[in-house]
Structure 1
Amino acid sequence: MGFDWLLRCPLLPGMKIICYADDTLVTARGKTFEEVCRLAAVGTSLVVDRIRMLGMRVSISKTEALLFHGPRRGPPRGAHIAVQGTVIEVKPCMKYLGLTLDGRWKFETHFKQLEVRLVKAAAALGRLLPNIGGPESVCRRLYGGIVRSMALYGAPIWVHSLTPVNKVLLRRPQKIIAVRVIRGYRTVSWTAATLLAGDPPWELQAEVLAEVYQYRALMNAQGVLAGADEVRRIRTLAQSVLVERWKEDLESPIAGSWTVLAVRSHIERWLKRKHGTLTFRLVQILTGHGCFGKYLHQTARRELTPVCHQCGATEDTAHHTLAECAAWSPQRHILSSTIGRAVSLPDVVDAMIGSETCWTVMLSFCETVMGLKEAEERAREEAADAPLIRRRRQGRRRRRYAHLLPP
């Protein structure tokens, strides 16, 4: 009833009142800054008086003012409006209904503030999701959905303002929570982590939400109630476009190419599969980040060389462990016999998606092989003659010994 009382009051041309929840927004449109200021001051004063007539009090000092403008018509320095003796400064941005608006609708401040909140939320939830043990995949996806929902709030409003800088601000928290969902090393790239987690880039998911919203808004404008089946059809079409665009983006990945090469051609089946959970040791093979000589040498900086300690090969990688290392021939023979083809990651992933049995055998291979590699790595770390760089230390352990590594 209170909002009704406000919305029905007579207004001057160019003025409008918008009420939602416990927020009241007064908008004013004009050709010059002075004209807009006069209309805004009159409209705000009118709203304050109407609220007071309802027996409520208004703290005018808490009112915020923002000018929407073009690239060359910003507010003058010291711009303000006066409402019943209170000076209200025209600020560069204003928070309204959970979104931080700015005068150019670029949402730069919004995404900077949002990134901080998302990183904190992702880190807090990540502490509940250890690599070994902890919640199962359903719970992990639920936690990932919490952070995603926070990120995509208001997406139909800001989706068309996504600059490269804003996309980067969204991708950092997405990577943090995706790494925890897949039980991966924190060094896993955003590309690989989101692909394995089945979580498309948030900027693409924002476009799906915007597509559905625009359809509903169009139907409402025509006085037609959008049916659930039709909305579902629009959402399905938008998601299909999302997957195709995601595949295009993955054609030339900057990072995570080992993972992308294996999963990209099966991405639809990967997203829709009904079986198969990711484990810490399986993800090491799928990402190449784990107990491999090359990773320990180049990324973790804990080995002097990338050599394979099991067979003596010059470079130990995920591919070498999966398909070449002679030390794991018995386990590889079982895997090859099950999938019915030579062992390569793309073929293994294809078989895993198509058969729960193949997925289970691949899990067994990874648990056995990576478990033995990890045990040998710990033994090397604890050896009395181990190089200082290899020994396991707490805290800031690597910078003191980085000079021991070859350039």
Structure 2
Amino acid sequence: MEITPKDSLKYLGVWIDKKLKFSVRVNKTVTRASQTTMALARIMPNIGGPQASKRKVLAAVANSILLYAVQAWSTAIKTKKNRKAYQREQRLSALRICSAYRTAPTEALLVIAEQPPIDLLIEETSYMAWKKNVGSKLGRKLKPKPYSNGKNVGMIMEPKSAGGQKN
């Protein structure tokens, strides 16, 4: 029996490529989430369908597919190609929640759908997993700090200084 090298492998539900870029994982999960969103869109028409609150619950299914094991691959969102793929899927989901036309601006859709941008959601989920698993074991107390990358504004957590002194 001969073992041949492959470009990627699936381990515990996460696709890992040989350069740890996670592009295979992004492509496969975006495709799967898109198929799920479209299947759900077939059962909830834009006109006369369920209310936005029920649509949000169904859209959460696609988000859970996209965010599975985020702490393992969160660095993949730093590449423009991967970020655009995730944003495209989030836009599709927001269109379905809002029952909007495809020409509606993405930022407006996200506000109406009450969804944070996917890149911030990935960073937050990854950080919260780190805080739960590693940060608490380090015995650090964390404090919120305002965050802005030019387009998006939010809060990030950073360690408090020892003895309550400011840095």
Q: Do the aligned residues in 2 keep the contact of 1:115 with 1:169 (CA within 8 Å)?
A: yes
CA deviation map 1:117-147 (0-9, x unaligned): 1111111112233222221122111111111
Q: Report the AA paired with residue 139 of structure 1.
A: K
CA deviation map 1:218-237 (0-9, x unaligned): 24644x7x9xxx8xx87xx4
Cα distance in structure 2, aligned partners of 1:193 and 1:113:
25
Q: Do the aligned residues in 2 keep the contact of 1:194 with 1:201 (CA within 8 Å)?
A: yes
Which residue does the alignment assign to 1:200? 116
1:153 to 68, 73, 77: 68
Q: CA deviation at 1:195?
A: 2.4
CA deviation map 1:196-244 (0-9, x unaligned): 211112121011011111112224644x7x9xxx8xx87xx48x74xx5
User: For 1:4-403, what aligned pairs fall within 5 Å after superposition?
Assistant: 86-162=1-77, 163-219=79-135, 221-222=137-138, 237=144, 241=147, 245=149, 248-249=150-151
Cα distance in structure 1, aligned partners of 2:91 and 2:14:
23
Q: TM-score, normalised by structure 2?
A: 0.79
Report the secondary structure of 1:249's partner residue.
coil
Cα distance in structure 2, aligned partners of 1:149 and 1:101:
19
Cα distance in structure 2, aligned partners of 1:115 and 1:221:
33
Q: Do the aligned residues in 2 keep the contact of 1:119 with 1:172 (CA within 8 Å)?
A: no
**CA root-mean-square deviation:** 2.5
Relative to total residues, which structure has the larger strand share, 1 or 2? 2
Q: Is there any run of 5+ residues in structure 2 with no aligned partner, and where?
A: 154-167
Q: CA deviation at 1:190?
A: 2.6
Which residue does the alignment assign to 1:358? none
Cα distance in structure 1, aligned partners of 2:46 and 2:76:
36
Report the secondary structure of 1:101's partner residue.
strand
CA deviation map 1:163-186 (0-9, x unaligned): 100011111221111111011012
Q: Report the AA paired with residue 170 of structure 1.
A: Y
Matched positions, count:
152
Q: Do the aligned residues in 2 keep the contact of 1:126 with 1:177 (CA within 8 Å)?
A: no
Cα distance in structure 2, aligned partners of 1:141 and 1:158:
25
Q: Do the aligned residues in 2 keep the contact of 1:118 with 1:147 (CA within 8 Å)?
A: yes
Q: Is there any run of 5+ residues in structure 1 with no aligned partner, and where?
A: 1-85, 252-407
Aligned sequence identity (%):
26
What stretches of structure 1 move > 4 A for 4+ residues in a row? Answer: 219-222
Q: TM-score, normalised by structure 1?
A: 0.34
Q: Report the AA paired with residue 10 of structure 2.
A: K
Question: Of the two structures, which has the highest relative contact order with CA contacts closer than 8 Å and spacing of 6 or more?
Answer: 2
Cα distance in structure 2, aligned partners of 1:123 and 1:192:
21
